[in-house]
Structure 1
């Protein structure tokens, strides 16, 4: 019997568990650890609350989770409650699938000002992550600036722009919904260092922005390349740029009748945040593209900014005793191998790239490495050894059955037009596990 520990219960973690089941069948025991009492990581806390169809992938993960040889070990902080070397002593292989939960810093003067947030925090706030539930952004100002040219920037923009009716069916948490409904923001600027041909936005998400009731997005036609140049683009990006062209063609008279402005500012690099304690403006340098890179032109201007959300990428959180590549923002690894018996997968391996589905071949790939490195069981203590350690340390471990009780309680407390109302406090989650006992 092989014993595998997977640290992280998001897509990469569950795809790795699925791969291990297919590789070894009943001859493997898999423990999936998470620092929170609830599973699914990025799906629960990263995917936009109005994208419920994407969250449906958890049904696949649940099939894996309910197998007898797979166990969810929630509410256990690896690196604090138990160390990675301790897990290595108990399991034949340890796979780090911790994702990339930290924001890349803007790295400009003034980024410490109040009401300046990274997307991990801001998205975590409206998605109910316990670490960010108390973020309380001030939405009383007129202008929000969203920095970034990927789907996360679109998510943040869309969430800021929606009406109450447009949140029907979503699982946005109540405290965020109440705050957004009281928002005074009337202008959202989406800021990107490069141009329309360099966006990382997908057609579906851009298309959604064009169907909101309070706004009609605007792109300055001068920022668009010649339409003939679109032929060189990959089909998905070409379609996305087509949406930008349609935004540029919306008559100003139509936009003027709507209560919220959303505008894309391309070829614009943030150089500093301005304010007295709290952000009030952002200093921007006009850029041009040189060999695919954005270079400054020396032309500066300011944009009023009462709220700034930076959506420029994520980094993995280091864990004590695990080699880390600071520059890349992920664990130092060779195609998934970190140290003998220690592996990484997903964003923790390759950085924040690809879609949720990209993690599936990643998980299968790391299991192939484990099979090569451990052709026969090393017969370590595995699950029984961890249970003994957990009892010795008094760890309050949450099982998958416990999670299902949390899920039932969240569904029971949902708004009429929502699938659930998430608990945003770990203690409340733990209490919910005993409600049905």
Structure 2
């Protein structure tokens, strides 16, 4: 009978569901209930506050377990690689999302929201999340699990306009219809979609898969048709706006006169070569400047190597594998973004984990995975961690932290108030 031990760097479990999903999308976080049921199983143990690759090596884990599955995601972001990227006022969407979601490493971000115009580089769901949080009325955000610190800074925000910029055209956007619909219906913000970008798109959108066709139809309708009475009323009274800008690729962040802050972004005007998903953006030689004091880069995530003993393809940012089996490393598996790159939503990643689990089960049946010798599991790991003074956080420890977060949230009329400092979490459970 299989036993599963889960190791996590932070005291709190749930990873991207806790720290990546937007606070105003509580229904997406319901998957936590399934995780909790699994973690409470007699055959599953959770060990938080343990950094694999630092506190314990993958080779040591392989000595302790018959199979080791690496599922640590993409914890770095892709850089723009342009001059001025490090100026004040320029942030990665990853850090911004981590900040408002209480990810400990981003708790001190304190983004400067004193500019009226913000530019988000990227046309994916994370880009729309960031824009929505910047434009949402505070009374909506106050009822979510967004952190207290974030609410205080968003309450002082001067941002009135958010422009979402993409290298390619309307037929290549990476966001989904649900997120677009939320933006269109966002109270207190009106969309601005340039009709010129959407005229004649109907024919091009006919032969594409249904989700892409519906998404294109919604953008086109928003750009070219008069809204219904209720929506028109919303838009007429809106004090903020958002827009989609296509065929623009960032060249340089323009510095303010002090040379320290961003005052705008210079973009190459592009044209498309090819069509559909594989169309490439090619510079035309024209450039365009957009003035703004806040720039958020949402151009994707990147996995990092976890341990020198684990093969890693740094070009693709993945662990080389076949159906989740790490190449050249029997008994070692991978799942999620570190297996196939940072694409897809929670459902995609969940199905992907089922596939890796299937590979493990097949290897057990075919005896490619040798389980003839007993392995010590956590008993071996415990000694290694104790020697370094590291005390893992159990799932029942986490449930104590969880109860405090929920109680603090209740006082503020929120589902929870996240504790953003791991040391405070550890103090709560007497570590």
Q: State whether residues 282 and 304 of structure 1, in contact with CA within 8 Å, keep that contact through their aligned partners in structure 2.
A: yes
1:179 Cα deviation (Å)? 0.6
1:361 Cα deviation (Å)? 3.0
CA distance in 2 between partners of 1:377 and 1:29 (Å): 15
CA distance in 2 between partners of 1:134 and 1:434 (Å): 25
CA 1:269 to 1:49, structure 2 compared with 1: closer, same or farther past 3 Å? same
**Which contiguous aligned blocks of 4+ residues in structure 1 show a shift greater than 4 angstroms?**
250-257
Pick one of 269, 283, 286 that aligns with 1:296.
283
CA 1:357 to 1:211, structure 2 compared with 1: closer, same or farther past 3 Å? same
Pair 1:334-2:334 in alignment: no
Q: State whether residues 194 and 268 of structure 1, in contact with CA within 8 Å, keep that contact through their aligned partners in structure 2.
A: yes
- Which structure 2 residues correspond to residues 208-247 of structure 1 after superposition, within 5 A? 208-224=182-198, 225-247=200-222
Partner-residue secondary structure (3-state), 1:323: coil
Q: State whether residues 216 and 262 of structure 1, in contact with CA within 8 Å, keep that contact through their aligned partners in structure 2.
A: yes
CA distance in 2 between partners of 1:383 and 1:28 (Å): 14
Q: Specify the alignment match of 1:134 in structure 2.
A: 108
CA distance in 2 between partners of 1:301 and 1:63 (Å): 53
Q: Deviations over 1:208-243 (max 9, x none)?
A: 001122211111111114323221222112222222
Pick one of 371, 381, 386 that aligns with 1:376.
371
Q: Specify the alignment match of 2:246 in structure 1.
A: 266
CA distance in 2 between partners of 1:58 and 1:203 (Å): 24
CA distance in 1 between partners of 2:356 and 2:430 (Å): 37
Q: Deviations over 1:342-364 (max 9, x none)?
A: 21111110011122122233223
CA 1:311 to 1:143, structure 2 compared with 1: closer, same or farther past 3 Å? same
CA distance in 1 between partners of 2:273 and 2:356 (Å): 38
1:248 Cα deviation (Å)? 1.4
Pair 1:74-2:48 in alignment: yes
- Unaligned 5+ segments in structure 1 are 1-26
Q: Deviations over 1:118-156 (max 9, x none)?
A: 121110000000000100110011211001111000000
Q: Deviations over 1:287-335 (max 9, x none)?
A: 1110111111111110012111111111112212122111111223233
Pick one of 271, 286, 290 that aligns with 2:269.
286
Q: Specify the alignment match of 1:354 in structure 2.
A: 344
CA 1:361 to 1:211, structure 2 compared with 1: closer, same or farther past 3 Å? closer
Pick one of 395, 418, 423 that aligns with 1:422.
418
Q: Specify the alignment match of 1:391 in structure 2.
A: 386
Partner-residue secondary structure (3-state), 1:327: coil
CA 1:168 to 1:236, structure 2 compared with 1: closer, same or farther past 3 Å? farther
Alignment: residue pair count: 409
Q: Tell me the TM-score normalized by structure 2.
A: 0.91
What RMSD, in angstroms, separates the aligned Cα atoms of the two structures? 1.8
CA 1:180 to 1:348, structure 2 compared with 1: closer, same or farther past 3 Å? same
Point out the more displaced range, 303-312 or 127-136: 303-312
Q: Deviations over 1:265-303 (max 9, x none)?
A: 011111111112111110011111101111111111100
1:55 Cα deviation (Å)? 0.3
CA distance in 1 between partners of 2:139 and 2:99 (Å): 20
Point out the more displaced range, 389-398 or 244-253: 244-253
Q: Deviations over 1:59-83 (max 9, x none)?
A: 0111111101101100001111111
Q: State whether residues 118 and 163 of structure 2, in contact with CA within 8 Å, keep that contact through their aligned partners in structure 1.
A: yes
1:261 Cα deviation (Å)? 2.1
Q: State whether residues 323 and 359 of structure 2, in contact with CA within 8 Å, keep that contact through their aligned partners in structure 1.
A: no
1:251 Cα deviation (Å)? 6.5
1:168 Cα deviation (Å)? 4.3
CA distance in 2 between partners of 1:59 and 1:148 (Å): 32
Q: Specify the alignment match of 2:124 in structure 1.
A: 150
Q: Specify the alignment match of 1:169 in structure 2.
A: 143
Partner-residue secondary structure (3-state), 2:349: helix
Partner-residue secondary structure (3-state), 1:131: helix
Partner-residue secondary structure (3-state), 1:56: helix
- Unaligned 5+ segments in structure 2 are none
1:256 Cα deviation (Å)? 6.6
Q: Tell me the TM-score normalized by structure 1.
A: 0.90
